[in-house]
Amino acid sequence: MQIIPAIDLIDGKCVRLSQGDYATAKTYFDDPLEVAKRFEDAGITRLHLVDLDGAKAGRVVNHGVLDRISKYTDLVIDFGGGLKRREDLDIVFASGAHMATVGSVAARQPELFLEWLQLFGAERMILGADARGGKVAVSGWLDDTELDVVDFARQMASRGVRQVISTDIAKDGMLTGPSFELYEALAHAAPGLRLVASGGIGSLDDLRRLKAQGLHGAIVGKAFYEGHISLRELADF
């Protein structure tokens, strides 16, 4: 299982939220490149970069940060937040992203997302399947839909999606453990999908349990920033 640290961006700074609430934003680093270099120096190879300003605005905002991290590290970066138009994808790929995570368009304009999947390939496009109460949430988790998250992932997998990042929003930033039941249901609904867990991870035991479930990856954010899991432990895992 791949460990994927997260950097969430507001005003170009590294922040974390609780349950997706922008009012809870806490800044950890003024320069995200600094923490990205720390991850790389520890031997970590992958980074999950989220443009929270972009998710709220409906367009990519923090692509300059992406550009700097991609230029000054060799991290494999997946970028999400505000990817609503083809032009947004062009911007983030030109700025150094290896993969793009798309949720809102996939939920609200699935045929457009599937066009992008064909255009850029399943290795570069990640489905964002984030849920509140089992229903898909979009637009930086500010809006809810009536789409069942497990059905959503199953349908997209049947249309060619190979990678999914899924967050149970109620767990996000709470450090009380991820939604193991959600990931079990997703894995059962779409066998063979490269499923990445996100949200709620607070300990190495959580990571061990996710690994035992057969997940492809796990995104770690606040647990690192708050000192619940050390950088060395992340790298060793």
Active-site positions? 8, 130
Q: Which residues contact 174 (CB under 8 A, 6 or more apart)?
A: 18, 19, 200, 202
Nearest to 59 by CA among 77, 79, 85: 85
pLDDT above 90 (res 80): yes
Structure tokens at 38: 């720390």
Amino acid 222: pLDDT? 95
- pLDDT 10s digits, 92-107: 999 999 999 999 999 9
Structure tokens at 92: 């983030």
Reported pTM: 0.95
Q: Which residues contact 20 (CB under 8 A, 6 or more apart)?
A: 137, 140, 141, 142, 169, 172
d(Cα 99, Cα 234) in Å, to the nearest integer?
Answer: 22
- pLDDT 10s digits, 124-175: 999 999 999 999 999 888 789 999 999 999 999 999 999 999 999 999 999 9
Whole-angstrom CA distances from 43 to 38, 81, 136, 149 are 9, 26, 34, 33
What pLDDT band is residue 218 in, cutting at 50, 70 and 90?
Answer: very high
Amino acid 139: pLDDT? 84
Amino acid 189: pLDDT? 94
Amino acid 235: pLDDT? 86
Share of the chain above pLDDT 90, in %: 95
Whole-angstrom CA distances from 195 to 55, 213, 227 are 22, 10, 26
- Domains in the chain, CATH or no CATH each: 2-236 (3.20.20.70)
- pLDDT 10s digits, 8-43: 999 999 999 999 899 999 999 999 999 999 999 999
Amino acid 105: pLDDT? 96
